[in-house]
Structure 1
């Protein structure tokens, strides 16, 4: 293994002091441009790498934000991370990203890794569906700011950025009712998570307000996988009394369900109107185009990173804010519009 090149190696090569090398590499005004150029050229030739981690530690900052998410395989989270990356880069911060892969044990391990990596702040979309923050306590004791986004825990001392999932669920269901649907099924994920729980409650309220009946057989709680979509489709195809509407809290599953039902000879939206959630690109590819609820992922990522960085710079105190609610938007398309596609 090759020895790491240090400023002392550069100094010895050029027969100058290590302090002069250090100042030149840090663009100190006391070193003339000719000397800086020579030192930087030699550093490059020798393969010198600046130890930014040690440098930042001396400044009591690593200029790194930790980001913890359940999975990285969704379009929504990709847009969130794009927003975070944009804001972080503009302020000179890097992102350290970890996914829990649907494992509470791994989320806890990821939190420990983030803490040991000395991140300046933590952005979290949690996998856990319980109000358990033991693995975040070291950050809170150390004064390292945490901000929850999307999937959040109801912890007062940690601020959150979300959309109004209850209202979004209500709006999606109300849209189906407005299209004449009388028997609306709901296909969702783990109701222990705030996003699915709140959308489910919005769905129930919209049904109740319109005096549309509901029973537990109309609810499908799954892992929102393509396999789950196929299984739900088969169950629907076998029903004598089929639904005429479906609110699915994931665009990929909604699109998959639509395709599977059409293979069974079920017309969309003629027999069953379907609305998804997130406004993924797939909504504009399938035929008919999929109605959905737009979730402002990139805006959420930008705001989350901007808020945390502003706090770290001392320009604001993110901990004075309990919850920031972003706007969603209902987007009706051909999968629900029974008269004319919008």
Structure 2
């Protein structure tokens, strides 16, 4: 098999210096248009392909973004990735997509791997196990811009693109109150994570506004998988027959709760009303359709990508960081509407 043609082959065919060929292929103004055209035509004739990777490495860039999400299978994260990838593509960047599977150790390994691959920027939605952020120091120490999206760590100087989790939690809970519910359970994720802390704070604020008591027993903390929602609802029904509503910090746990309630032959929303968070596609298909807080993954992804690309192109990361908060919208469906 013959070797791939090089700039030396082009130079030899045209009887010119290889340095002139290199300048022409890099669109240098030091090469006349006539010579440049001749070189490009000969390169095409010989089937020459530039080694873009080597060229970028010499410039200390890779035109690559690293993206870390907890689970690609979740609709929110897949749509956020779509928003990131579309924005990156238009700017001439490739995307390396990795998933932590909610594991800190895996996240640490991925971060190190992306730094070794010399990505130009990194976007991350941290895992549920990420309570210590020292493994992210390597990113900043290597001068790589870092933007958190959706899940973030509340550390000064970080840049974040978030949904208004407090307002989402408040609106979901107040909606349930407006439907006549008074004993509302909240399914939360780990409260060390800011998004779940803020959704819980919104829940509490709505109860306080409407003079309803906050009960610690009505807060159930899990990893918010579907089976967690089922088991949590089962536990509630076994010990508390006064509960009339559930606000779940995500849709999957809410769907698990719906399945449990139906299995117990109770009616939704007549006996127990439910609101989720994230507007997964399945929320419109399940019966009854799930009321939820819509968080546009696509919009968050596009916004996060634009932010990090601005840091890369300007070669400047603000020391104080930036936080962009997008609006959360309540979508009312049959799982909660009594009136």
TM-score in terms of structure 2 length: 0.88
Q: Cα distance, 1:232 vs. partner?
A: 2.3
Summarize the alignment of residues 40-51 of structure 1 with structure 2, pairs less than 5 Å apart. Answer: 40-43=44-47, 50-51=50-51
| C-alpha RMSD over aligned residues | 2.7
> Which one is further off, 274-283 or 141-150?
141-150
Answer yes or no: is 1:36 the counterpart of 2:50: no
Summarize the alignment of residues 158-307 of structure 1 with structure 2, pairs less than 5 Å apart. Answer: 158-239=158-239, 241-307=241-307
Q: Distance in 2 between matches of 1:81 and 1:208?
A: 37
> Which one is further off, 145-154 or 211-220?
211-220
Summarize the alignment of residues 325-340 of structure 1 with structure 2, pairs less than 5 Å apart. Answer: 325-339=325-339
> Which one is further off, 34-43 or 65-74?
34-43
Q: Deviations over 1:200-223 (max 9, x none)?
A: 121122112222233232222112
Q: Distance in 2 between matches of 1:255 and 1:208?
A: 27
Quick check: 1:124–1:147 contact (8 Å CA) kept in 2? yes
The 1:133/1:14 distance shift into structure 2, 3 A limit, reads same
Q: Distance in 1 between matches of 2:280 and 2:209?
A: 29
> Which one is further off, 236-245 or 248-257?
236-245
Q: Cα distance, 1:298 vs. partner?
A: 1.2
Q: Cα distance, 1:66 vs. partner?
A: 1.4
Q: Distance in 1 between matches of 2:27 and 2:165?
A: 50
Q: Distance in 2 between matches of 1:332 and 1:297?
A: 19
Q: Cα distance, 1:313 vs. partner?
A: 1.4
Q: Distance in 2 between matches of 1:72 and 1:4?
A: 40
Name stretches of at least 5 consecutive residues in structure 2 with no aligned partner. Answer: none
Q: Distance in 2 between matches of 1:128 and 1:252?
A: 15
TM-score in terms of structure 1 length: 0.87
Aligned length: 334
Quick check: 2:226–2:255 contact (8 Å CA) kept in 1? no
Q: Distance in 2 between matches of 1:289 and 1:325?
A: 28
Summarize the alignment of residues 95-110 of structure 1 with structure 2, pairs less than 5 Å apart. Answer: 95-110=95-110
Q: What's the secondary structure of 1:313's corresponding residue?
A: helix
Q: Distance in 2 between matches of 1:312 and 1:215?
A: 47
The 1:276/1:283 distance shift into structure 2, 3 A limit, reads same
The 1:41/1:277 distance shift into structure 2, 3 A limit, reads farther
Q: Cα distance, 1:12 vs. partner?
A: 9.5
Answer yes or no: is 1:84 the counterpart of 2:62: no
Name stretches of at least 5 consecutive residues in structure 1 with no aligned partner. Answer: none
User: 4+ runs of 1 displaced by more than 6 Å?
Assistant: none
Q: Deviations over 1:150-199 (max 9, x none)?
A: 11111112211112212211111111011000110111222211111111
The 1:8/1:37 distance shift into structure 2, 3 A limit, reads closer
Q: Cα distance, 1:36 vs. partner?
A: 3.2
Answer yes or no: is 1:127 the counterpart of 2:127: yes
> Which one is further off, 168-177 or 157-166?
157-166
> Which one is further off, 25-34 or 132-141?
25-34
> Which one is further off, 310-319 or 165-174?
310-319
Q: Distance in 2 between matches of 1:106 and 1:240?
A: 39
Paired position in structure 2 for 1:57? 57
Q: Cα distance, 1:233 vs. partner?
A: 3.4
Answer yes or no: is 1:69 the counterpart of 2:69: yes
Quick check: 1:87–1:305 contact (8 Å CA) kept in 2? yes
